[in-house]
Structure 1
């Protein structure tokens, strides 16, 4: 009897202590594809702001290439809803039908089985083939070849403006005809030590977050290699200090060739990557050069309705879409107006992280109350200044929408009655000495009290 009561107490306590777990699902893309199109496997994680550790399977006959991560956050009823999507692309080298059987995707150590599928790849058009080859050759660019096996730390840009993004990649390249038998040696420990050296402290980092080595064939200066990509990230410098990446080394375990019938010996061989440097340039003179975002952006906007009555409300969506440090984007300050009451916007964002860029969108959804009739271009209130590094100039995104307010002016009505009401009226008369109940704290204290009573009860039962 005591054991039964004890088990019930433990189960109740475990149910209280257990934290809500995130919702994880695995989805696959289209199965009818052209050769220039990838088959995509995606891991979708909901209700978690921690980056999951994801490992995608090898699929027979298909080649792993680019991976990407997308984070979507939105505010619904005052609550932030977060969804992360990590995707892996697979390409076929020739036409045909490919079977997927029993592939396992690992998410934080938990295995998810891919459904059995038949993929069909058909010939691509010549234009699409050329576009794909161009993209892959850019991704595989290396300054120089140093033997049949070499380690390289490459950057996409040699100089950037402050807050402009650039990508780095750490890869080991092994020639197709290299006469060597080797394997990675204590890779996790070595890689952690390398990353401590090459991650600059004065940069904002964005990366895909896939903890696995990407292996793929590449052609460098006409020679075929296998690239083992170990790390990739996009950095945004926050200061004018140049970004210096030191020389780094990686030890590999090599199986030496032996005599006929003899035992082959293992040894460690070190491969080194040359140091790299990225210069950081100051932005041109501008009153807001220390605050503006740097990147390539465009404006998308939406007005809930083109006409409202005075005293009524409407919503205005100001969406920034483009390439740059999307998480760091902030809304411009909306000037105070006697014609409208502007409220703080609900903010949402979609961030897409890939090898060489961070792109996406950030939305600012405003709730506005009209106070005076008239026709008002919203460009007077909503504008956003940024610096475009490609054109090396500042630009302003300004609303093209116009709102028409009809009916009797609420301002005029208030003046005629000798009063002008506002949500801030008499704010100085409010009594701030009265504290409001903290219901969350009260609930937490009650639960702790219940748990304490349960523990005391358990001790009392065992002492009897």
Structure 2
């Protein structure tokens, strides 16, 4: 009887916890059930500590998930991974499946934030939320539970249980700063990654701790003087399979960027540290307890250095841009005449620091006038490499007929670190410029007899340019005199009355 009473209390306690958790999670009204399923939005608790996530989720019932739109961005938060949960229920012999997709958000700092109203499309259905006010509270200490919630209450009722003895198992995880080269030229790209490695067996032992607060401190230590940095697009911290020393590892991308040294000064990255949660395991596991205790462990990377060499001597060294590029060009018409402007577009594309590719200064030439350029740049980051294109759009006005060779106007000196050679990318288009088009003759003949008789006797003497201004001034004087005369007459008429 005593055993039965204890289990009834335990079940009642957990039922209360489940009811409280459900009450904290506000839900948006569910969309009506259709052939594409029934969808509803679920917002996590709107008040939470800094070291916990805020969550947005949608639940889909009655249909498989075909497609859905992205979760909204929240100012002051960073997206930190998604999870998927599938729940199957069988009631009265009928089976129903509910899919839940949850997006986690990590706050950068404490404070109050506004989640504006937003809409998510799931299987073509539009589900709207009215938004919420999010309160990020101060960070809570990392809990170190040795027993599941509610055991403390049962201990008070039935006596304290015997404490477990925990040990810290050895792990094979490590933190590393990894540049992809040991020596580069000035302006040559160096891809640098900050990675955390662990073996698949260590996944249950380690977890990230206060990551959003630690990362800015680490990135400040990775900064370099006299370097142009192209950071990679922010991405979720997800593991990927790799091999280290012939052994399988999981690698987490914490930070990636491409560094372009601007001077021959070596790139030096100091040792950086990262705290991780590491769980201790009991000597004698108890199936009724959590069987692990939370602790912290600090992992420190090795310092790394990349030597930077000056560009080889060459007459073009001071003007050359560093990278692997090619030149494309185009014009906006096929016929050219003197005095008529046309658009010439110069496009440089490839891999390298496009920000260092300055507008090309055209060579002076007597046969044309050049205006511009208008500059446009597109940068692509993928697989640790940075590339793209940069366009320069000029307006050119030919001044004399003949062949206009654009290769004499535009040239880009380049140093390719892969071949260690200098080259000059030159324009190759040549346009044939024709003379100005003849203006159509204006005939003075007319078939109107009224004007025909007067054109013959009309005075063709040129008048001074100021004649219209003088006529306008005299007309203003005359108008002012008439106004004064009218005012005087009105005054005399009123006085005589």
TM-score by length of 1: 0.58
Does residue 322 of structure 2 align to residue 294 of structure 1?
Answer: yes
CA distance in 1, matches of 2:196, 2:219: 15
After superposition, residues 336-375 of structure 1 pair within 5 angstroms as 336-375=364-403
1:344 partner SS = strand
Q: Following superposition of structure 1 onto structure 2, how do residues 82-97 of structure 1 map, counting pairs within 5 Å?
A: none
Q: Secondary structure at the match of 1:287?
A: coil
Contact kept? 1:234, 1:355, Cα under 8 Å: no
SS of the counterpart of 2:281?
A: coil
How many Å apart are 1:186 and its aligned residue? 2.0
Displacement, 1:407? 0.9
Q: What is the alpha-carbon distance in structure 1 between the residues aligned to residue 200 and residue 214 of structure 2? A: 25
Give 1:183 deviation, angstroms.
1.7
| Rounded Cα–Cα distance in structure 1 between residues aligned with 2:122 and 2:99 | 5
* From 193, 198, 215, the counterpart of 1:169: 193
Distance 1:185 1:330, change over 3 A: same
> 1:366: Cα distance to partner?
0.5
Q: Is the 8 A contact 1:169 1:232 kept in 2?
A: yes
The 2-side partners of 1:44 and 1:206 are apart by: 26
For the pair 1:55 / 2:83, whether they are aligned, the reply is: no
Corresponding residue for residue 181 of structure 2: 157
Which secondary structure state, in structure 2, belongs to the residue aligned with residue 332 of structure 1? coil
Asked if structure 1 preserves the Cα contact closer than 8 Å seen for 2:80 and 2:104, the reply is yes
CA 1:44–1:115 in 2, change beyond 3 Å: closer, same or farther? Answer: closer
Name structure 2 gaps, 5 residues minimum.
1-66, 86-97, 108-112, 125-169, 439-497
Count of aligned residue pairs for this structure pair: 303
Please, which of 177, 184, 198 is the counterpart of residue 208 of structure 2? 184
Q: How big is the shift at 1:184?
A: 1.6
State the match for 1:441 in structure 2.
Answer: none
Give the number of the structure whose alpha-carbon radius of gyration is greater.
2
SS in structure 2 of the partner of residue 197 of structure 1: helix
Match of residue 325 from structure 1: 353
Structure 1 pair 191–56 and aligned structure 2 pair: CA distance change class (3 A): closer
Q: Return the alpha-carbon distance in structure 1 between the equivalents of residues 282 and 122 of structure 2.
A: 44
> Which residue in the other structure is 1:215 paired with?
239
Q: 1:218 to 1:350 in 2, by over 3 A?
A: same
DSSP 3-state at the match of 1:256: strand
With over 3 angstroms needed to count, the CA separation of the structure-2 counterparts of 1:346 and 1:359, relative to structure 1, is: same
Name the CA distance, whole Å, in 2 between partners of 1:393 and 1:258.
63
1:239 corresponds to which residue? Answer: 263
Cα distance, 1:292 vs structure 2:
2.0
Q: Tell me whether 1:379 sits opposite 2:404 in the alignment.
A: no
Q: C-alpha distance in 2, partners of 1:107/1:361?
A: 35
Q: 1:139 — aligned with what?
A: none
Q: Secondary structure at the match of 1:390?
A: coil
For 2:217, what is the secondary structure of its paired residue? helix
Distance 1:107 1:150, change over 3 A: closer
- Contact between 1:101 and 1:116, CA under 8 Å: does it hold in 2? no
8 Å CA contact 1:168–1:233 kept in 2: the answer is yes
Q: Give the CA deviation at 1:328.
A: 2.6
- CA spacing shift, 1:235–1:398, aligned 2, 3 Å: same
1:56 offset after TM fit, Å? 7.0
* Deviation, structure 1 residue 258: 1.8
Post-superposition CA distance 1:322-373 (Å, at most 9, x none): 0011123112211222110100111111111234221000000100101000
Q: Give the distance between the partners of 1:295 and 1:52, measured in 2 at CA.
A: 37
Judge conservation of contact 2:71–2:120 (CA < 8 Å) in 1: no
Relative to structure 2, which stretch is displaced further, 215-224 or 237-246? 215-224
Task: Find the partner of 1:284 among 300, 307, 312.
Answer: 312
Aligned to 1:390: 418
1:399 pairs, out of 427, 440, 463, with: 427
Instruction: Mark the CA change 1:402 to 1:106 in structure 2 (over 3 Å): closer, same or farther.
Output: farther
